[in-house]
Structure 1
């Protein structure tokens, strides 16, 4: 039996690199050799939990989770009935298309492994092919950039809109890039870490705000002009707010700053519930829009990711070889230590 190495949760706050059986593709499947895989906040959530509940609704015990759902790699085996893919194709994956469960999120397979089985492989459904001009590490951003793209699609931002993005992590910065590629005239990014704000400017944001040092509403008024809420109280002229930070302070800031008819798009997971000033929302007729995953965007983003790969590549702060995957997770688990960590598998032979 051929084996491979795979990263699983190993208890609270720990990973474990285990030897598991290397998958064998069936007639409709392909086997992908992973060349790069991003670490996501969802992976960190599973680590904090120590796995995933076996039967969540019954309070079942935690079971290990194969981690990783942001892979890029190349096909090394092709099932007999697969006609549109061939050995050597460089591909990215739709983790939600796997019939054995979402890849890296409780399904049978995780993408932080040497190999990944793509079941019922079909271009445009489970995989998309990308050219040699794009590094594998940058291609691995396809999945998180689909999350960011869905958020921007949900915002329905138009060229004349003035937009602010809270949170300069990969999703927030990805949203800023998509907004600018969409032609939005003015995009502001807000964060508390100066290096992240520098990166926001590097990828095309028009302005940044350090919310630890500046009054956000006052600065937005300088940048976007003054408007008012339904009661005539002065408010920044910002049209769309995007929450890619997931902290209560952002929600409260938006409700307190929103002009009449503003929109808030929530893409970040709210880690803790918070009281919402419903009266404040009423006074602004603030529209709250939730954005979850990527219903149609997973491969919608791929051609533009290819075209603008150098710009998207700036989102990666660290590339770490799989032989040092523990260090990669340490970086991700340490607040402020890294922005986007990608694990590379270049040291493994074909």
Structure 2
């Protein structure tokens, strides 16, 4: 039996590299050698919990799970019935479309492994190819950038809109990039970590706000002009707010500042509930739009990721070899220690 190394949860705050059976592709499957895989906030959530609730009794016993759902790699085997894909193709993966469950999110397989089985492999459905000019570490950003792209698509931002993104993590910065590539005239990024704000300017944001030290209302008014809510009360002229931070303070800030017919797109996972000021929403007729995953965007972003790879590469703060993968997860678990950690399997 051929084996491979695979990363699994091992109790609260811990991971473990296991030797597991290397999958064998069937006639409709493809086997991908993983070359890079990003670490997501979802992975960190699993580590905080120490695993995932077993399907048979959700909310009860936690079971270990294989991690990783942001992979890039190359095909090393294809089944006899697979068409449009061949050995040697460099690919990114949709982790959601697999009979054995979500890759790295409770399914049978995780992408933080030396090899990943793609069941019912189909070009454009659960795999997409990309040119060999794209580094695997950048290609591993495909999945989170699809999340960011969906938020921007949900915003329906027009070139004349003035937008602020709260949260300069990978999703927030990705949203800022997509907004600028969409032609949006003025994009502001707000965060509490100065280094992240510097990164926001580097990837194309027009301005930044240090919300821990600056008056957000005054800065937005200065940047976007003055407007009003439905009662004529003065408000910044910001058209669209994107919450990529998930902190209750962001929601409160938006409601306080929203002008008449402003829009809030919520893409961050809310870490704990916020008391919603419904009266404030009413006074601005604020539209709240939720953005979850990437219904159509997972491979929509792939060619543009390749075209603008140098800009997207700036999102990666740490590249860590798989031989030191435990350290990679320590970085991801430490608040403020890293922005985007990508694990490389060829270093």
Query: What whole-Å deviation, never above 9, does each CA across 1:203-245 have from its counterpart, x for those lacking one?
Result: 0000000001101111000000000001111000000000000
Match of 2:323 in 1: 323
In the alignment of these two chains, the number of paired residues is 347
Match of 2:308 in 1: 308
After TM superposition, list the pairs within 5 Å mapping 1:127-206 onto structure 2: 127-206=127-206
Match of 1:69 in 2: 69
Distance in 1 of aligned mates of 2:241 and 2:25: 45
Query: What whole-Å deviation, never above 9, does each CA across 1:151-191 have from its counterpart, x for those lacking one?
Result: 00000000000000000000000000000000000000000
- Post-superposition, which runs of at least 4 consecutive aligned residues in structure 1 deviate over 3 A? 55-59
Distance in 2 of aligned mates of 1:56 and 1:288: 35
Distance in 2 of aligned mates of 1:102 and 1:307: 28
Q: Residue 57 of structure 1: CA displacement?
A: 5.4
1:285 aligns with 2:285: yes
Contact kept? 1:168, 1:189, Cα under 8 Å: yes
Q: Residue 259 of structure 1: CA displacement?
A: 0.2
Match of 1:271 in 2: 271
Match of 1:124 in 2: 124
Match of 1:299 in 2: 299
Q: Residue 14 of structure 1: CA displacement?
A: 0.6
Match of 1:340 in 2: 340
Q: Residue 55 of structure 1: CA displacement?
A: 3.4
Q: Residue 65 of structure 1: CA displacement?
A: 1.0
Query: What whole-Å deviation, never above 9, does each CA across 1:292-324 have from its counterpart, x for those lacking one?
Result: 000000000001001001100000000000000
Distance in 1 of aligned mates of 2:104 and 2:225: 44
TM-score with structure 1 setting the length: 0.98
Distance in 1 of aligned mates of 2:113 and 2:340: 19
Distance in 2 of aligned mates of 1:125 and 1:83: 12
TM-score with structure 2 setting the length: 0.99
Distance in 2 of aligned mates of 1:83 and 1:311: 33
Distance in 2 of aligned mates of 1:59 and 1:155: 34
Q: Residue 60 of structure 1: CA displacement?
A: 2.7
Match of 1:6 in 2: 6
Contact kept? 1:200, 1:208, Cα under 8 Å: yes
| Structure 1: tracts of 5 or more residues without a match | none
| Structure 2: tracts of 5 or more residues without a match | none
CA RMSD of aligned residues (A): 0.8
Contact kept? 1:55, 1:61, Cα under 8 Å: no
Distance in 2 of aligned mates of 1:273 and 1:193: 23
1:40 aligns with 2:40: yes
